[in-house]
Amino acid sequence: MNNIFEFLAPLARNRAYLDPGSGSILLQLVIAAALGAAFAVKVYWKKIKGALSKNKSNDETDTQVQEPDDPEKKS
């Protein structure tokens, strides 16, 4: 089984020059599902909110321009 994973693991992963630490990798496995789910909820909630506010602003006035939602853009 290990060999199959080793075969599948692309070059990029094996050449990591930092030791990620077993404890740090295995903790990620433990918390991954919960954090992924929370992130999914957050993204969809933003989309819903975005859609609602867009509809609302469309109802109020057609001339308002919505700013694109870009959380990564530096303020």
Partner 1 sequence: MKQSASFRDPSGFLFTDKGTLYRQVNEEYKAHYDKLMESGLYHSLVERKLLIPHEEVKIAPPEKAIAYKVIQPDRIPFISYPYEWSFSQYKDAAITTLAIEMLALDKGMTLKDASVYNIQFLEGSPLLIDTLSFEIYDEGSPWVAYRQFCQHFLAPISLMAFTDIRLQQLMRVYIDGIPLDLASSLLPGKTHFNMGLELHIHRHAASQKKYAGKGEKAKVKEARITKLSYQGLIDNLQGTIKGLNWEGVGTEWGDYYDATNYTTAAFERKKSLVGEFIDQVNPKMIWDLGANNGEFSRIGSGRGIFTVSSDIDPVAVEKNYQECRKLKEKNLLPLLIDLTNPSPGIGWENNERTSFIERGPVDVVMALALIHHLAISNNLPLERVGEFFAKAGEWLIIEFVPKDDSQVQRLLSSRKDIFPKYNEAGFESSLGADFKLIRKEPIEGSKRTLYLYRRK
- Give the residues lining the site for partner 1 (CB under 8 A): 1-2, 5-6, 9-13, 15-18, 20-40, 42, 72-74
- What is the CB neighbour count within 10 angstroms for residue 57? 14
SS3 state of residue 59: helix
Beta strands in the chain (DSSP E): none
Residue 60 Cβ vs partner 1, minimum distance, rounded to whole Å: 31
Considering the complex, state which of residue 39 and residue 58 has its C-beta at the smaller distance from partner 1. 39
- The DSSP letter of residue 15 is T
Least distance (Å) between residue 53 CB and partner 1: 21
